[in-house]
Amino acid sequence: MRIVKFGGTSVGSAYHIKKLVNLIDVNKRTLFVFSAIGGITNMLADFIYQSKLGEKEICQHTFLRIREIHFRVITELFSSKNYKQIAESKVEESLKLLSYYSNHRITEKAEKEILVQGELISCSIIYLYMLEHEMDVAYIPALRFMFTDKYKEPNYLKITEKLTKELSKYNGCKLFITNGYICQNYKRQTDNLNRGGSDYTATIIGNVLRASIIEIWTDIDGLQNNDPRYVENTFPIRNLSYEEASELAYFGAKILHPLCIIPAQRAKIPIALKNTMSPDDQGTTISEYAISKGIKAIAVKDGITAIKVKSARMMQAYGFLRRIFEVFEKFKTPVDMLTTSEISVAMTIDNNAYLEPIITELCNLGEVEIDQNQSIICIVGNFNDNRNISIQSITDGLGNIPVHMISFGASKINISFLIDTTNKIEALNLLNQHIFRHHLCSINIQ
Ligand code: ADP
Ligand code: ASP
Ligand code: MG
C-alpha cells in the first residue's frame, strides 16, 4: 500500500483537484490523505476566535466566506447536476455548526468540531468527484480509526485494529480516501493532530499499514535548504536522513509537521516530498539511506520564550536541574533548548500557556529572567565531519547579530542559535550567503 497525502494548496481549487485526480494511478493500491482546502482551517480558527469575542457580524461574514469558497470549487468541479447537489448538501451539513455558533456561546467541544470541518468537506468533495469519474474508491472517515491516547499520542494498537477492519470491508478496492488532521481523543471526542497535522496522519497510517512509501504532495519542489518564505533562491535537498528531517521539521520547516517523521522512521518507510504543480520534479526523499555530508539546511522556529534561572545554590549542588524540570513537567511544557553554567540555567519553550505559573514556581528556586519574541535558528548537517566544518566557520556567518544561546553537541547533526525574532530574516539571509555560497555546502549543490 502507498500513502499519498495532498496538502491545502494541492486541493485549493477545482483546477488543483482536477490536476491531482489526474495524477492518480488506479492500478496501485493507495490510501489518500487530504487536507482542508488551503486557508480554510485558518478561517475556521478565526471564526472560533470571533465567536468567543461575541462578534456576531464578523462571524457571519467568515461563515459566508467559507461557504462561498467551497461552493465555487463545487461549481467549477462537477459536470453532473446530481453530484453537484450532493456536494453542496455536504457543505451545508458541515456548516450548520458554524451557523449555530455565529449566535451562541461556543463550547470547547464545539471548537474542536468546527476546526475539523475543512477536512470533512474537502474529502467529501474529492470523493464525489472521483465517483463522478467512475473511479472505484472507498471513503474511510478518520474518526473511525484515528485514535489518540491521554498524552495526545497516536494509539497505534487501536488504530491498527480499526483501520485494518475498515479496509477489509472493501475487498478488491484499490483506492481509499481519508481525512488528514482529524482524530478521536481518549474521551472519544472529535479532536485534531495540531496544525499541519495531515502530514502526521499520513505517516501514522504509513506505519500502521507498513506502507511501501509515504508521499507528501505540496506546493514546492521538496524540502529547501532554507526557509523560502524569508530567503530567495533556495534550492531543494534531494536526500535527507530521518534524523535530519526530524530536526528541520521540529525547528520550523513548515513543509513537515513537527512530529511526522517519527512514525515513518520507526517503520523505516521512505517519505517522498513532491510538488503537485511540477510532479516530474524529483523532490526530496527522506530515508535511512541518505548520506549525511556537509550542511543540509537551515530552519527557523518563532514564538520562543527564553527562561533563565540564576541561583548560587546551584553551585556544586545535585538535584537542582531535576527541581527545575519538575516545574516544566508539572505544567506539561516541553523545553527545546538548554544551556547551563555553574550558577545559571537557560531554557527555551514554545508554548506560553502556563508561563505565569511556571515563573511563579521557578522564582522559588532562584532569580528568573524572561525574554520573549525569540527565534531558534537551527542548522542541520553532519557535524561529525568537522574537518570541513568548524563552529566558528558557522558563527562567523551571523555577522554582528546578537546570539542569546547556542546549543550543540547533543546530536552531531544540529547546531541551534537563539536570537531576537526581529533579527530572524537578516540572520537567515546572512547564513544562507555564508554557508551555501561557501565550501561548507559544496557537497549539497546538485
Ligand atoms: P501543505 O498545505 O501542502 O501542507 P504547507 O504550507 O504546510 O503546505 O508547507 C509548504 C510550505 O512550507 C511551503 O510553501 C513553504 O513556504 C514552507 N516552508 C518552510 N520551510 C520550508 C523548507 N525548508 N522547504 C520547503 N518549504 C518550506
Ligand atoms: N488543515 C489543517 C491545517 O491547516 C491540517 C493540515 O493542513 O495539515 O493545519
Ligand atoms: Mg502542511
Report the CATH number at residue 420: 3.30.2130.10
**What pLDDT is attached to residue 442?**
42
Domain-ending residue, one of 171, 194, 218:
218
Which residue(s) pair with 371 in the sheet? 306
Residue 56: give its domain's CATH number: 3.40.1160.10
Question: Mean pLDDT over residues 247-265, rounded?
Answer: 96
CA of 193 to the centre of ligand 3 (A): 12
Q: Which residues, including other chains, have CB under 8 Å from residue 132's CB and lie 6 or more apart?
A: 78, 79, 80, 83
Pocket test for ligand 1, best of 255, 261, 377 (most atoms within 8 A of CB): 255
The answer to whether position 209 is within a domain reads: yes
pLDDT per position as a tens digit, 60-83: 999 999 999 999 999 999 999 999
What's the rounded Cα separation, in Å, for the pair 260 and 280?
24
Measured by CA distance, the residue closest to atom 6 of ligand 2 is 196
Measured by CA distance, the residue closest to atom 10 of ligand 1 is 255
Q: Give, as one character, the DSSP assignment of residue 12.
A: S
Measured by CA distance, the residue closest to atom 8 of ligand 2 is 196
What's the rounded Cα separation, in Å, for the pair 253 and 251?
6
Q: Which ligand does the CA of 116 lie closest to?
A: 2
Q: Tell me, yes or no, whether 196 and 344 share the same domain.
A: no
The answer to whether position 244 is within a domain reads: no
Q: Tell me, yes or no, whether 179 and 301 share the same domain.
A: no
The answer to whether position 180 is within a domain reads: yes
Query: What is the total count of domains within the chain?
Result: 2
The answer to whether position 390 is within a domain reads: yes
**What pLDDT is attached to residue 390?**
73
Closest CA to 69 of 100, 37, 97: 37
* DSSP one-letter string for 56-96: HHHHHHHHHHHHHHHHHHHHHH-SSHHHHHHHHHHHHHHHH
> Does residue 38 line the site of ligand 2, with CB under 6 A?
no
pTM of this prediction?
0.94
Three-state SS sequence of 355-414: HHHHHHHHCCCCEEEEEEEEEEEEEEECCCCCCCCCHHHHHHHHCCCCCCEEEECCCCCE
Domain-ending residue, one of 166, 199, 218:
218
For residue 298, pLDDT beyond 50: yes
Q: How confident is the model at residue 307 (pLDDT cuts 50, 70, 90)?
A: very high
| Inter-helix orientation angle 81-101/117-132, to 10° | 170
* DSSP one-letter string for 184-212: E-TTS-EEE--TTTHHHHHHHHHHHTT-S
Q: Tell me, yes or no, whether 73 and 163 share the same domain.
A: yes
For residue 193, pLDDT beyond 90: yes
Q: Tell me, yes or no, whether 16 and 162 share the same domain.
A: yes
The answer to whether position 144 is within a domain reads: yes
Q: Tell me, yes or no, whether 76 and 177 share the same domain.
A: yes
Q: Which residues, including other chains, have CB under 8 Å from residue 424's CB and lie 6 or more apart?
A: 230, 300, 302, 375, 377
By percentage, how much of the chain surpasses pLDDT 70?
Answer: 96
Q: Tell me, yes or no, whether 132 and 23 share the same domain.
A: yes
Residue 100 domain boundaries: 2-218
Domain-ending residue, one of 160, 187, 218:
218
For residue 315, pLDDT beyond 80: no
Q: Tell me, yes or no, whether 213 and 98 share the same domain.
A: yes
Strands 295-310 and 367-381: antiparallel
The answer to whether position 404 is within a domain reads: yes
Q: Tell me, yes or no, whether 303 and 211 share the same domain.
A: no
Q: Give, as one character, the DSSP assignment of residue 440.
A: G
Q: How confident is the model at residue 443 (pLDDT cuts 50, 70, 90)?
A: very low
What's the rounded Cα separation, in Å, for the pair 226 and 299?
6
Q: Which helix (H) or strand (E) holds 120?
A: helix 117-132
The answer to whether position 124 is within a domain reads: yes
For residue 440, pLDDT beyond 70: no
Q: How confident is the model at residue 386 (pLDDT cuts 50, 70, 90)?
A: low
pLDDT, mean over the chain: 93
Q: Tell me, yes or no, whether 206 and 114 share the same domain.
A: yes
Q: Tell me, yes or no, whether 168 and 24 share the same domain.
A: yes
CA of 379 to the centre of ligand 1 (A): 17
Q: Tell me, yes or no, whether 195 and 62 share the same domain.
A: yes
The answer to whether position 277 is within a domain reads: no
Question: Mean pLDDT over residues 118-122, rounded?
Answer: 98
**What pLDDT is attached to residue 388?**
60
Which residue(s) pair with 368 in the sheet? 309
Question: Mean pLDDT over residues 266-276, rounded?
Answer: 97
pLDDT per position as a tens digit, 422-431: 999 999 999 9
Span of 217-231, 279-293, 298-312 with lowest mean pLDDT: 279-293
Q: Tell me, yes or no, whether 310 and 416 share the same domain.
A: yes
What's the rounded Cα separation, in Å, for the pair 123 and 20?
13
pLDDT per position as a tens digit, 140-187: 999 999 999 998 999 999 999 999 999 999 999 999 999 999 999 999
